């Protein structure tokens, strides 16, 4: 009798879990919000932290930014975007004209 009860409970739990919606963001992404309310999703691409994948807002476009030399913090960039972290804050800008997209970006 006890085995049947455990089997029924397991079935109910599996049914409940399968009906839950999947999260909008996959594991591994770090979510930061900037002073300008721009949402930034980023993650390291490898354990050596030589590059990051970055998404702005709800955009599906993933930018692969490579590490660059920086006087302080860590700077990652491609021709379109630059992501400069210093401690637990960051700034995002366009390297072509230094237009700031988001500053004081940090975990909410």
- Domains annotated on the chain, with CATH: 29-105 (2.40.128.200)
**What is the per-residue pLDDT across 29-58, written as a single tens digit (0 to 9) for each?**
999 999 989 999 999 999 999 999 999 987
Conformational region of residue 38, where left means phi above 0, alpha means psi within -120 to 50, and beta covers everything else: beta
What is the pTM assigned to this prediction? 0.72
CA distance 35 to 14: 42
Q: What is the structure's pLDDT at 35?
A: 96
Can you read off the two tokens belonging to residue 65? 């930014």
Can you read off the two tokens belonging to residue 29? 């992404």
Q: What is the structure's pLDDT at 58?
A: 79
CA distance 12 to 31: 33
Q: Position of tokens 């949402």?
A: 39
Q: What is the structure's pLDDT at 14?
A: 38
**What is the per-residue pLDDT across 73-91, written as a single tens digit (0 to 9) for each?**
999 999 999 999 999 999 9
């Amino acid at each position: 009798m006890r085995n049947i009860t455990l089997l029924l409970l397991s079935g109910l739990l599996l049914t409940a879990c399968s009906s839950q919606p999947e999260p909008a963001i996959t594991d591994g992404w770090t979510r930061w919000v900037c002073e300008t309310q721009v949402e930034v999703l980023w993650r390291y691409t490898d354990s050596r932290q030589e590059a990051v994948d970055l998404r702005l807002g709800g955009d599906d476009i993933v930018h692969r930014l490579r590490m660059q030399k920086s006087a302080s913090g860590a700077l990652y960039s491609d021709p379109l975007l630059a992501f400069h972290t210093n401690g637990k804050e960051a700034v995002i800008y366009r390297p072509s004209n230094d237009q700031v997209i988001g500053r004081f970006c940090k975990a909410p």
